[in-house]
Amino acid sequence: MRVLLLGGTAEARALADRLVAAGVDVTTSLAGRVTDPRLPSGAVRIGGFGGIDGLRAALAEYDAVVDATHPFATTMSANAASACSAAGRPLLRLERPGWATRAGPLWHWADTHQQAAELAARLGRRPVLTIGRQQLAAYLPALHDVSVLARVVELPSIGVPPGWTVITDRGPYALPGELALLREHRADVVVSKDSGGQYTWPKMQAAAQLGLPVVVVRRPARPAGVATVHDVEPVLAWIAELHTGTGKI
C-alpha cells in the first residue's frame, strides 16, 4: 500500500508518524514554501508537481492520497481532487475543525484578506497580523499608515511600510507569550485566518482576555465530493480498509 500524503500541517506529521509505525509505505509531499520545514517521518518530497497533469502522472506510483494540507491551501486541494478523479485514485481530506463554534462576541468575520484589512483599519490603529507572509500584500493599502505587527514564519519577499514591524516565529504558542506579545505592541485588534486547531488558538484566548476585537478570515470552499475527516484515526481506518478490507492496518 503506497500512500501519498499531501502535508505541511501538524495533522499530516501526526499521520505520517502513525503510518510509518504501522509499516505503511508513505511519502509526504511538501510545497517547499518554507526554507526549513518541520519534516515528518518517512519519505519526503519537496516542491510542486507541475499542476494537475503533473500530479496525475505522479499518482502512478501511489495507491491512495490523503490531502492534509492547510485549510487555506486551496490550489493544492483542488488539484488533488481533479488528479485523483482522473487517475482513479481514492482521496481523503484530513482537515482540522475550524473555530466557528468557538467564536467570541468581539469576532468580525471576513470573506477575503482585503475585507479583513479594511475591517482592521476601522477597528484599530495598532493591529497584529497573523495571516502568513504570502497574504501581507493584501493588507498594505488599508493598513499602510498604521503601526502593524506582522508575525510570520519567514520574512516576506515584499517590502513593508516603515511603520510596520515584522517578526518571525513558529507555533505552537502558549497563552502567556501571546498576552505578552499583544501587550508589548499595545495591540488594539488582531487579524487571523480561521486556521483551526490548538497550535495558534492561544492568540484568540489572549485577545479575548484583553478585550480586543478579532478579525477572522473565513475558510475558502473545498472541492466538492471529497470525503473529509477531522482527526488521524479515521484516516488510518480508511487506509486499512483500502489495503486489507478489515479496517485494521
* Shared domain check, 118 and 55: no
Which domain, by its residues, includes 234?
2-95+222-243
Q: Is residue 136 part of a domain?
A: yes
Chain centroid offset of residue 173 CA? 15
- Output the CA torsion 61→64→69→71 (10° steps): 150
Half-sphere exposure of 1 (CA within 13 A, CB side): 22
| Over residues 65-85, mean pLDDT | 96
Residue 50: DSSP 8-state:
S
* pLDDT, tens digit, 9 for 90 and up, residues 214-249: 999 999 988 899 999 999 999 999 999 998 775 565
Q: Are residues 126 and 108 in the same domain?
A: yes
Task: Please check whether residue 86 lies inside any domain of the structure.
Answer: yes
Domain count, the chain: 2
CB–CB of 226/76 below 8 Å?
A: no
Same structural domain, 63 and 108: no
pLDDT in the model for residue 64: 97
Span 163-181, average pLDDT: 95
| 173 phi-psi bin (left φ>0, alpha ψ -120 to 50, beta other) | beta
Do 202 and 105 have their domain in common?
Answer: yes
Q: Which amino acid is it at 26?
A: V
Same-domain status, 49 and 145: no
* CB-based contact 235:90 (threshold 8 Å): no
* Pairwise CA distance, residues 120 & 104, whole Å: 16
Element housing 215 (H / E): strand 214-217
Mean model confidence pLDDT for the chain: 94
User: Residue 246: its pLDDT value, please?
Assistant: 59
Per-residue pLDDT of 89-147, as tens digits, reads: 999 999 999 999 999 999 999 999 999 999 999 999 999 999 999 999 999 999 999 99
61 has pLDDT over 90: yes
Residue 37's pLDDT is 82
Residue 169: CB atoms within 10 Å = 11
Q: What is the rounded average pLDDT of the residues 173-188?
A: 98
Cell numbers that stand for 141 in this block: 493599502
Burial class of residue 24, CB neighbours in 10 A (0-12, 13-18, 19+) = buried
pLDDT category at 32 given cuts 50, 70, 90 is confident
Residue 248 lies in a domain: no
**Is residue 43 within 8 Å of residue 28, measured between CB atoms?**
yes
209 three-class SS: helix
208 burial type by CB count under 10 A (0-12 exposed, 13-18 middle, 19+ buried): middle
Mean pLDDT of 153-179: 95
Looking at the fold, whether 35 and 54 belong to one and the same domain comes out as yes
pLDDT at 99: 96
d(CA 22, CA 10) in angstroms, rounded, equals 19
16, three cell numbers: 505520517
What is the pLDDT at residue 38?
84
Q: Which residue, 31, 29, 89, is CA-closest to 57?
A: 89
